[in-house]
């Protein structure tokens, strides 16, 4: 419509709730596949496929080098193209379907011998990893193109995190019993059947999602054709909000990756109780959900910056405290309490953290007159999967250093190493989040940016209509 008095959905009016609800499912699905990697893949490779743990650690890191090349290039491409079906939606469908299939193939056990298993694991992991790294490019671009309203985005972020908690709980608390049930005692078959079910569910859901969501604010392909790789890299380096958001995302994901990867070893060898994995997964749900529901209120009161800063400080303190917990009944209770405390403050902060990249995209559009939503999303996705790889690689490397031996009583050095990886190491990596000190984007500043962008958009629309009218006349 050319009548600028008509309220614009996504600026003057909220977008439909159904659209927000369905779109918010996508990070939850992504979390499921990332959680399967961080929680189970190292264990699956070493204990089921019998692949050398040192090789697995190197593979995790090396594959991310390929991602480092492919993912940003894909993000640049995404920002420069458009299709008859939309700018981001077709790629969401392709990538999420590929991720579902790649996840199934990765956790599909084979018996090709040690060399054959190693080759199969490497090839399928590369495919799986690339799709996971690429998925945030269209998803993050879609977030910025669906709505410019911060309340819409906060609703999406809150729902995102609820789904993220649900899918995280599914992996941490329910995956082991389901894998054992579906495998009828054979964990390899259980992994295969578990991932087959979720491949079917994932493809069905993404088909529904792309049918409902709408792209409302998209730069034309002609404008984006003027961009080049250097210009888009500059749009990241010179956008301090994007840099801060990416670094915080990296710190949170590497923290979760380290915790998830070492968890099964910690419960099994330090407390001699693998059932703790289910208990911890369940315990983490309630405080996180409580935190999520209060996140909007807390963020309004103290702001994004202070909310995330508080989470980082509490997480550092509670993580370091875990190192001093004894392997006793009271030690378990203390561990659970610290885990609940950290989960509560993580819940407070995560919905606010999820709005940071879209805010950075708006700022970049206002400052640089270019849209880099796909590229920022790609970088965000890359740092997320890089964090998973680094965490897995770190755990694998430290397990080698401390002389970990599967399925035997661990030495004192091994147990100290496992304790370190569960407590001090996560505290070190989450401290990267202290870059939040540099964040000064307020709601008022963002509103002023959106108002100026809206004025420019209406002016450009009016000019385009006048040119069209002159051509017709």
Q: Is 0.75 topped by the overall pTM? A: no
Any domain includes 4: no
What is the predicted pLDDT for the residue at 227? 52
Any domain includes 116: yes
Q: Which residue has the tokens 């304790």?
A: 419
What CATH number should be reported for the domain holding residue 83? 1.20.1250.20
Q: 174-182: long-range contacts at Cβ-Cβ below 8 A with a sequence spacing of 24 or more?
A: 174/278, 174/281, 175/36, 175/39, 175/40, 176/274, 176/277, 176/278, 177/278
DSSP result, 175-201: HHHHHHHHTTT-HHHHHHHHHHHHHHH
Tell whether the torsion through CA atoms of 378, 384, 385 and 389 is positive or negative. Answer: positive
Cα–Cα distance, 350 to 172 (Å, whole number): 19
Any domain includes 7: no
Any domain includes 260: yes
Any domain includes 239: yes
Any domain includes 202: yes
Cα–Cα distance, 263 to 168 (Å, whole number): 14
What is the predicted pLDDT for the residue at 170? 86
Distance of CA 58 to the CA centre of its chain: 22
* Whether residue 264 has pLDDT greater than 90: no
Coil, helix or strand at residue 401: helix
Q: How many domains does the chain have?
A: 1
Lookup: tokens for 231: 């210009």
CB 422, CB 277: distance < 8 Å: no
What is the predicted pLDDT for the residue at 221? 45
* Whether residue 57 has pLDDT greater than 60: yes
Top-confidence residue, 377 or 59: 59
If we measure between CA atoms, which residue out of 451, 447, 448 comes closest to residue 459?
Answer: 451
Lookup: tokens for 113: 């011998």
CB 154, CB 446: distance < 8 Å: no
* Whether residue 468 has pLDDT greater than 50: no
Contacts of 451 (CB under 8 A, 6+ apart): none
In the chain, the N- to C-terminal Cα span, in Å, equals 20
Give the tens place of pLDDT for each residue, 157-211: 888 878 887 888 788 778 889 999 999 988 899 999 999 999 999 999 999 999 9
Across the range 39-62, mean pLDDT stands at: 86
- On the 0-12 / 13-18 / 19+ scale of CB atoms within 10 A, 465 is exposed
Any domain includes 427: yes
- Of 27-41, 116-130, 252-266, 457-471, least confident by mean pLDDT is 457-471
Say how many C-beta atoms besides its own lie within 10 A of residue 187's C-beta.
19
Give the tens place of pLDDT for each residue, 322-372: 999 999 999 999 999 999 999 899 989 988 888 888 888 888 888 877 767
What is the predicted pLDDT for the residue at 425? 94
Residue 203: domain span: 17-460
Cα–Cα distance, 285 to 340 (Å, whole number): 9
CB 35, CB 168: distance < 8 Å: yes
Q: 53-80 vs 136-146: helix axis angle to the nearest 10? A: 40
Calculate what percentage of the chain has a pLDDT beyond 70: 91
Any domain includes 388: yes
Across the range 7-18, mean pLDDT stands at: 83
- Of 219-228, 319-328, 374-383, 387-396, least confident by mean pLDDT is 219-228
- On the 0-12 / 13-18 / 19+ scale of CB atoms within 10 A, 471 is exposed
* Whether residue 438 has pLDDT greater than 60: yes
Across the range 12-30, mean pLDDT stands at: 87
* Whether residue 92 has pLDDT greater than 60: yes
């Amino acid at each position: 419509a050319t009548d600028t008095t008509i309220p614009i959905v996504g600026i003057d009016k909220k977008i439909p709730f159904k659209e927000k609800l369905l779109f918010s499912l996508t990070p939850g699905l992504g979390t499921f596949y990332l959680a399967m990697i961080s929680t189970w893949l190292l264990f699956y490779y070493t204990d089921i496929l019998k692949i050398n743990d040192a090789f697995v650690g190197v593979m995790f890191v090396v594959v991310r080098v390929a991602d480092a090349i492919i993912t940003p290039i894909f993000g640049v491409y995404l920002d420069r193209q458009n299709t008859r079906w939309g700018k981001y939606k077709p790629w969401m469908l392709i990538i999420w379907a590929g991720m579902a299939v790649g996840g199934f193939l990765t956790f599909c056990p084979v018996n090709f011998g040690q060399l054959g298993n190693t080759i199969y694991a490497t090839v399928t992991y590369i495919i799986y990893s690339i799709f996971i790294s690429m998925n945030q490019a269209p998803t993050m671009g879609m977030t910025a193109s669906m709505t410019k309203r911060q309340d819409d985005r906060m609703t999406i972020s809150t729902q995102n995190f609820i789904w993220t908690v649900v899918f995280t709980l599914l992996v941490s608390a329910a995956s082991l019993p389901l894998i054992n049930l579906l495998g009828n005692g054979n964990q390899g078959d259980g992994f295969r059947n578990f991932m087959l079910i979720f491949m079917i569910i994932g493809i069905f859901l993404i088909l529904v999602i792309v049918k409902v969501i709408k792209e409302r604010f998209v730069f034309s392909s002609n404008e984006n054709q003027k961009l080049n790789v250097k210009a888009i890299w500059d749009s990241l380096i010179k956008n301090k909000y994007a840099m801060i958001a990416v670094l915080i995302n990296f710190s949170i994901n590497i923290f979760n990756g380290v915790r998830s990867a070492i968890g099964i070893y910690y419960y099994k060898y330090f407390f001699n109780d693998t059932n703790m994995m289910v208990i911890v997964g369940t315990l983490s749900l309630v405080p996180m959900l409580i935190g999520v529901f209060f996140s909007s209120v807390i963020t309004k009161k103290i702001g994004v910056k202070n909310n995330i800063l508080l989470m980082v400080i509490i997480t550092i303190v509670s993580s370091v405290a875990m190192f001093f917990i004894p392997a006793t009944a009271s030690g378990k209770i203390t561990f659970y309490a610290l885990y609940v405390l950290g989960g509560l403050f993580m819940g407070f902060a995560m919905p606010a953290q999820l709005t940071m990249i879209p805010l950075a995209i708006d700022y970049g559009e206002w400052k640089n007159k270019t849209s880099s939503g796909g590229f920022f999303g790609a970088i965000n996705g890359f740092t997320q999967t890089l964090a998973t790889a680094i965490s897995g690689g770190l755990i694998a490397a430290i397990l080698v250093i401390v002389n970990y031996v599967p399925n035997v009583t661990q030495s004192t050095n091994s147990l100290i190493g496992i304790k370190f990886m569960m407590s001090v190491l996560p505290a070190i990596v989450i401290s990267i989040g202290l870059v939040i000190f540099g964040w000064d984007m307020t709601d008022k500043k963002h509103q002023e940016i959106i108002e100026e962008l809206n004025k420019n958009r209406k002016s450009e629309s009016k000019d385009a209509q006048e040119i069209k009218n002159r051509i017709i006349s």
